[in-house]
Homo-oligomer: A and B are copies of this chain.
Amino acid sequence: MDLERSPLALPFPDMPAIDGVTLRVSNARYKNWDRADLTFAELAEGTAVAGVFTQSACASSEVEMGREQVRSGRARALIVNAGNSNAFTGYRGREAVEQIMAQVAEGIGCAPGEVFVSSTGVIGVPLPKDKARDGVAKALAAEPCGWEDAARAIGTTDTFTKGATSSAVVGGKTVTLCGIIKGSGMIAPDMATMLGYIFTDAAVDPAFLQQLLSTANRQTFSCITVDGDTSTSDTVLAFATGRAGNAPLASFDDAGADAFAAALTDVCRQLAQLVVRDGEGASKFITIRMSGAASDESAHRVGLSIANSPLVKTAIAGEDANWGRVVMAVGKAGEPADRDKLSIAFGGIWAARNGLPVEDYDEAPVAAHLKGSDIDIAVDLGVGEGRATVWTCDLTHGYISINADYRS
| Chain B, Cβ-Cβ closest to A357 | B124
- B122 and A228: CB pair below 8 A? no
- B315 and A403: CB pair below 8 A? yes
Q: How far is the CA of A395 from the CA of B311 in the complex (A)?
A: 13
- A400 and B395: CB pair below 8 A? yes
Taking the closest CB of chain B, its distance from the CB of A380, in whole angstroms, is 14
Asked if A364 is at the interface (CB within 8 A of a chain B CB), the reply is: no
- B314 and A404: CB pair below 8 A? yes
Instruction: Say which residue of B57, B123, B188 sits within 8 Å of A337 (CB atoms).
Output: B57
- A327 and B404: CB pair below 8 A? no
A58-B406 contact given A186-B311, A340-B90, A397-B400, CB 8 Å threshold: no
- A310 and B58: CB pair below 8 A? no
A90-B406 contact given A58-B331, A58-B337, A58-B342, CB 8 Å threshold: no
- B124 and A230: CB pair below 8 A? no
Asked if A336 is at the interface (CB within 8 A of a chain B CB), the reply is: yes
Instruction: Say which residue of B89, B315, B328, B329 sits within 8 Å of A407 (CB atoms).
Output: B315
Taking the closest CB of chain B, its distance from the CB of A225, in whole angstroms, is 11
Chain copies in the assembly?
A: 2
Q: How far is the CA of A254 from the CA of B396 in the complex (A)?
A: 54
Q: Interface size bucket, A side?
A: 35 or more
Asked if A289 is at the interface (CB within 8 A of a chain B CB), the reply is: no
Asked if A98 is at the interface (CB within 8 A of a chain B CB), the reply is: no
- B57 and A330: CB pair below 8 A? yes
Asked if A295 is at the interface (CB within 8 A of a chain B CB), the reply is: no
A56-B328 contact given A124-B357, A310-B229, A318-B408, CB 8 Å threshold: yes
Asked if A30 is at the interface (CB within 8 A of a chain B CB), the reply is: no
Taking the closest CB of chain B, its distance from the CB of A364, in whole angstroms, is 14
Across the interface, which residues of B come within 8 angstroms of A319, CB to CB? 408
Asked if A372 is at the interface (CB within 8 A of a chain B CB), the reply is: no
* B-contact 0/1 string along A3-28, CB 8 Å cutoff: 00000000000000000000000000
* B-contact 0/1 string along A36-60, CB 8 Å cutoff: 0000000000000000001111110
Across the interface, which residues of B come within 8 angstroms of A408, CB to CB? 318-320
Q: How far is the CA of A247 from the CA of B190 in the complex (A)?
A: 56
* B-contact 0/1 string along A310-346, CB 8 Å cutoff: 1100110111101111011111111111111010000
Asked if A227 is at the interface (CB within 8 A of a chain B CB), the reply is: yes
Q: How far is the CA of A327 from the CA of B342 in the complex (A)?
A: 38
Q: How far is the CA of A320 from the CA of B232 in the complex (A)?
A: 19
- A314 and B230: CB pair below 8 A? no
Q: How far is the CA of A229 from the CA of B338 in the complex (A)?
A: 18
Q: How far is the CA of A87 from the CA of B401 in the complex (A)?
A: 34
Across the interface, which residues of B come within 8 angstroms of A315, CB to CB? 403-404, 406-407
* B-contact 0/1 string along A57-74, CB 8 Å cutoff: 111000000000000000
* A88, A122, A336, most chain B CB atoms within 10 A: A88
Asked if A102 is at the interface (CB within 8 A of a chain B CB), the reply is: no
Across the interface, which residues of B come within 8 angstroms of A229, CB to CB? 309-311, 325, 328-329, 332
A232-B331 contact given A310-B227, A311-B186, CB 8 Å threshold: yes
| Chain B, Cβ-Cβ closest to A233 | B328
